[in-house]
Amino acid sequence: MNKVIGVKFKDSGKIYYFDPLELEIEKGGNVIVETARGLVFGEV
């Protein structure tokens, strides 16, 4: 089964979905993800 996480880049921003690979990531945690604009900091 594939897992995905929802990440917001702004408090009221749209949610974008990413594959967490093998990482255990919790809701409310902070992540750095690779986007078309490069590496970006967001919140799960």
Q: How far apart are CA 17 and CA 9, in angstroms?
A: 11
Task: Report the pLDDT averaged over residues 20-35.
Answer: 93
> What pLDDT shows up at residue 14?
92
pLDDT above 90 as % of the chain: 75
Neighbours of 11 (CB within 10 A): 6
Q: Is the pTM of this model over 0.85?
A: no
The pLDDT value given to residue 8: 95
Residue 10: its pLDDT value, please?
84
Q: Which domain holds residue 18?
A: 5-43
Condensed to tens digits (0 to 9), the pLDDT of residues 12-25 reads: 789 999 999 988 99
- Tally of structural domains, the chain: 1
Confidence of residue 4 (pLDDT cuts 50, 70, 90): very high
